[in-house]
């Protein structure tokens, strides 16, 4: 046993005699297209950049955040932009009692929803867009199912009302999810636990794979390594105001997520961005 340990130590010390493995590699720089270029002889494929925008609850979007998020989108030029759901609040379609002074605002709010999507499209004209429906957009379906006489009108579905085709966003219905290269689930979310990252843990345990979700308005990450490998689930925060007409004194965190996703491939690196008083650091820049 002693001899075996000694041999091991010998081989380790031999390995460390050569400093070649300690040489610094040049950092990979983003090209104008935003892809990390393949270096000659590199075993790695390209990485594409994605941004994940959580709950905006328009018209209760925090404008000071959105302005800086737009600047970041313009600077970062992601290949894909995900709207993680609850883009619209649809307070007027809520099943709960409503403040009458906030009634009759639906068209105005839809116009705002389209306006902000247009702004995102202008900041990133070439990015692919994916719009995930949240439970707040799903209020429209629930309302229509109670009034089925007009439920089949295409003009009343979310893609038509928000003009998603015109701004180049694909639509994913509530409770469906986007499967990113078979390694990462992107969804709005339908689980809520009371603390940051507790929902992330529940989502990871439910799906057994990595993912990113909105819905809780909390920013939190849960990591797990076992025989199936290393996985992560990210709760993405929110970009709405910290208090909404229907919810006060909230344990919420404003934030969003961006990431580098291997394509083709299944490696990814996701970066949560906490937003503190409408300011944040992202990709090495301070947005204030």
In the complex, the residues that contact Fe ion under the rule CB under 5 A are 55, 86, 134-135, 215
For Fe ion, give the closer residue by CB, 84 or 232: 84
For Fe ion, give the closer residue by CB, 55 or 157: 55
Minimal distance, residue 85 CB to Fe ion, in Å: 6
For Fe ion, give the closer residue by CB, 35 or 102: 102
For Fe ion, give the closer residue by CB, 134 or 237: 134
Which residues face 49 on adjacent strands? 260
Q: Which of 79, 81, 82, 100 is nearest to 91 (CA)?
A: 100
Tokens of 134: 């949240």
Minimal distance, residue 248 CB to Fe ion, in Å: 15
What CA–CA distance (Å, rounded) separates 86 from 54?
8
- Give φ, ψ of 173 to 5 degrees: -60, 155
Minimal distance, residue 240 CB to Fe ion, in Å: 7
Contact 76, 258 (CB under 8 A): yes
What CA–CA distance (Å, rounded) separates 256 from 56?
11
Minimal distance, residue 136 CB to Fe ion, in Å: 6
Measure CA 8 to chain center. 46
For Fe ion, give the closer residue by CB, 46 or 235: 235
Measure CA 229 to chain center. 22
Minimal distance, residue 143 CB to Fe ion, in Å: 16
**Cα dihedral across residues 129, 134, 139, 145: positive or negative:** positive
For Fe ion, give the closer residue by CB, 238 or 261: 238
- How far is the first Cα of the chain from the last one, in angstroms, to the nearest whole number? 61
Minimal distance, residue 207 CB to Fe ion, in Å: 17
């Amino acid at each position: 046993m002693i001899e075996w340990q000694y041999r091991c130590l010998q081989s380790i010390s031999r390995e460390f005699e050569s400093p070649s493995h300690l040489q610094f590699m040049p950092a990979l720089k983003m090209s104008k297209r935003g892809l990390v270029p393949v270096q000659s002889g590199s075993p790695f494929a390209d990485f594409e950049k994605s941004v994940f925008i959580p709950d905006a609850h328009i018209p209760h979007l925090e404008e000071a955040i959105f302005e800086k998020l737009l600047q970041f989108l313009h600077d970062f030029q992601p290949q894909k932009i995900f709207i993680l759901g609850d883009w619209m609040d649809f307070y007027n379609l809520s099943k709960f009692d409503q403040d009458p002074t906030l009634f009759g605002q639906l068209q105005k709010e839809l116009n705002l929803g389209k306006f902000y999507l247009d702004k995102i499209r202008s900041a990133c004209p070439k990015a692919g867009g994916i719009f995930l429906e949240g439970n707040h957009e799903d209020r429209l379906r629930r309302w229509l199912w109670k009034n089925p006489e007009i439920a089949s009108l295409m003009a009343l579905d979310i893609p038509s009302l928000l003009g998603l085709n015109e701004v180049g966003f694909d639509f994913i219905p509530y409770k469906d999810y986007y499967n990113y290269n078979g390694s990462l689930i992107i969804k709005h979310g339908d689980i809520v636990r009371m603390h940051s990252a507790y929902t992330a843990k529940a989502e990871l345990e439910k799906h057994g794979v990595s993912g990113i979700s909105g819905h809780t308005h909390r920013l939190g990450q849960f990591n797990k390594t076992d025989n199936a490998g290393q996985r992560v689930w990210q709760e993405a925060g929110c970009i709405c105001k910290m208090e909404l007409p229907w919810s006060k004194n909230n344990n919420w965190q404003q934030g969003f997520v961006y990431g580098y996703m291997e394509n083709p491939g299944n490696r990814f690196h996701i970066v949560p961005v906490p937003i503190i008083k409408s300011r944040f650091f992202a990709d090495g820049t301070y947005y204030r």
